[in-house]
Amino acid sequence: MKHPIGTLGAFLAGALAMYYLDPELGERRRALLADLVRSGLPGGDRHARGRISRRSYHRVTQADPRTDAELRARVQDLLGRAASFPGAIQVDVENGTVRLSGRVLAKERDALLHQVQQTPGLQKLVNAMSSHDSAQEIASRQADPAAATATASA
């Protein structure tokens, strides 16, 4: 313990390496860090950030139907495990953007969105679901689609 600052620095460097090289979440953390570096730090010089963003090139991603279908299957599988009424939630995927619509229990919504957000391959998540306090509201609307359509058009 002759050099406590050096020991502390080595410990912090090891912890940082473990944080970013984690096999499960490290890839997402590295991507977030790369986005932060590319966009500039918040609160920095706005003119400097503008110059940087004008010089950067935006990559246009091609739609891969197979990848979107795999992502849709992953999200639907997750809904089957995480939601009480997975049939009441519609999943639409386009270019890695997942749009959830339909009905969900209010107490399940936040946890469900958090789990879907962690799905590999997801670029963006759009929540268009309506939350309901009781399961009876969801079950009654699911059993009678004509009533749900009439209510929606009114």
Phi then psi dihedrals of residue 130, to 5 deg: -100, 135
Cβ atoms of 128 and 101 within 8 Å: the answer is yes
pTM (whole model) above 0.75: no
Position 18 confidence tier, pLDDT thresholds 50, 70, 90:
confident
Task: Kindly provide the b/e burial profile for residues 126-154, where b requires at least 16 CB atoms within 10 angstroms of the residue's own CB.
Answer: ebebeebeeeeebeebeeeeeebeeeeee
CA 28 to chain CA centroid, Å, is 11
Give the closest residue to 115 by CA, choosing from 78, 77, 60: 78
pLDDT at 96 over 60: yes
The 10 Å Cβ neighbour count of residue 109 is 17
Domain range annotation of the chain: 4-55, 65-153
Structure-model confidence comparison of residues 57 and 141, the more confident one: 141
Q: Which residue intervals of 40-103 are DSSP H helices?
A: 46-55, 65-82
Fold of 65-153: Histidine-containing Protein; Chain: A; (3.30.1340)
pLDDT at 51 over 50: no
